[in-house]
Amino acid sequence: MGGRSFMLATRVPMSRAGFEAWLDASPPGLDVIENPDAMWTGWAGDGGAADWELTAFADSPHVVAALRADRRKSPRQLLADRVKAGGCVVRHRDGALELYLYDYHADPYRTRAELLMLAGAGRFADPGEHPVLHWGGNVYPDLPLAGDPPLAVLLVTPTGARFVGRYPIEALSATLRPVEAAFLARYEGDGTAEPDLSDAVDPALRP
């Protein structure tokens, strides 16, 4: 599973009712994030342009239209293809939204819509600041190894979200280990069996 890959993982405490409301909620605008241009600041891509306006695709309006359309989808809609393909964990477990998303041989622009989706989850979350970890590059889909910087950390709160340039990644990774384990379990076996959604995907999202 090597190759250029991009991942997101989080554990956002919220009630079951909050989780189900989030699944069908209208997505927030970019203004839900206090500092979107600071997406890469302090981490592996420090100094790079966040490019939320998708200027890299100025000569491909169909690509821009598709990426912007993703930003208008509810979480249920945005996650539907991922659930069908099987490369994710999305569930309500032990009082929290647990999520682990993996894009293999992808680019980081799709992640913009998913970061906005998770920023919007704050409206349904318990009080506090809840980190979303974004990492990737020429790496495997496991959580970052000790000392390896991620691409970004987004703190989600009930009133909004913001990117931070410093965060205790090893402690965050320890919190996310059970979600990682559920994701990696999807790839056990010889790959010929139908994916077992029972542990990784919440019943509210299963086909």
Chain mean pLDDT for the chain: 90
pLDDT at 116 over 60: yes
Q: Where are the domains of the chain?
A: 4-51+58-187
Is it the case that residue 36 has pLDDT exceeding 60?
yes
* Confidence at 46, pLDDT banded by 50, 70, 90: very high
Q: Rounded CA gap, 172 and 187, in Å?
A: 23
The 10s digit of each residue's pLDDT in 55-110 is: 999 999 999 999 999 999 999 999 998 888 777 999 999 999 999 998 876 777 88
Closest CA to 160 of 103, 205, 119, 112: 119
Q: CA 161, CA 120: separation in Å to the nearest integer?
A: 8
| Structure confidence at residue 110 (pLDDT) | 84
Per-residue pLDDT, 195: 54
Q: Is pLDDT of 188 > 70?
A: no
User: Torsions phi, psi of 155, nearest 5?
Assistant: -95, 120
Closest CA to 148 of 45, 47, 48, 51: 45
